[in-house]
Amino acid sequence: MLITILGYIAALIIGVVLGLTGGGGSILTVPVFVYLLGIDPVLATGYSLFVVGSSSMFGAIKNVQKKLVNFSTSLIFAVPAVIAVFSTRKFIIPAIPETIFQNEKITISKDMVIMVFFAALMLVASFSMIFNKKREMSSINLEQTKSINLFSLIILGIVTGVVTGLVGAGGGFIIVPILIFFAKLPIKKAAATSLFIIALNSLIGFLGDALQIDIDWYFLLSFSALSIVGIFLGIYLNKFIDGAKLKKGFGWLVLLMGVYIFYKEILL
């Protein structure tokens, strides 16, 4: 009972971080499902896509009303990303064998590989949150680099979609810097547009799972509802709290979680 309550509290926190920073909170969803609630890693990544997608969609609607979402950039980035994430969930994940390698001393399972890859992603995300100071690029050379940026957005959209599909994270910590440096968006518009892209990626990616597995809708909808409450709370608190400073502190938490997952999956 206590574990379940802690899991739902974590759902609220995930939503708050998403609302405050435009990304990053979703990186904790899978560890909460796997280590706190005992859900199978593959199923957890699918559930995570729904939770992150639904909560991000509500936040995105709020940002659309504030006219902070750049729709043209969203479509350029999201279309290849959506195709990649759906294909990953529908075809690549099921194609990975349950036991990838085995001998007398070691067994490398599908679940282990997913969680180790996820831990590596958490470490990258944590360093990005802790040490990366985003600076808006000058728009002076925007016309000269327009075609390069367009191509870059498409390629990075595909890469982000594959990563999102594999680990079930929304990828906000990847998307926000991409939108700043390649789409030349201001930080607040990048965060708002990121939520819109995350919502599309995650929900359509989840369809790849929904078509082939049994879903515990009661649990999933209740967990998502708390995340949605959290994201509205985060958007409101964004008026009073420095999201950049919060993200740095959250980065340290993500770093510790990543190290813990490595320890649990490899050393233990």
pLDDT tens digit at each of 268 positions of the chain: 778 888 889 888 888 877 776 556 668 889 999 999 999 998 999 999 998 888 778 778 888 998 999 999 999 999 999 999 999 998 999 999 999 989 888 889 999 999 999 999 889 888 877 876 554 444 434 444 444 478 888 999 999 999 989 988 777 778 888 888 888 888 888 888 988 998 898 998 898 888 777 889 999 999 999 988 887 888 788 778 776 677 788 888 889 999 999 999 888 7
Say if CB 165 and CB 208 are below 8 A apart. yes
- DSSP secondary-structure letter at 267? I
Q: What is the pTM of this model?
A: 0.83
Structure tokens at 220: 């999933």
* 32 phi/psi in degrees, rounded to 5: -65, -45
* 188 phi/psi in degrees, rounded to 5: -65, -40
Say if CB 202 and CB 210 are below 8 A apart. no
What three-state secondary structure class fits 87?
Answer: helix
Q: 88: which residues sit within 8 A by CB, 6+ positions away?
A: 161, 162, 164, 165, 166, 205, 208
Q: Which residues does residue 108 pair with via DSSP β-bridges, in sequence order?
A: 101
Domain boundaries, the chain: 2-267
**Closest of 179, 177, 175, 190 to residue 149, by C-alpha:** 179
Q: How far apart are CA 156 and CA 205, in angstroms?
A: 17
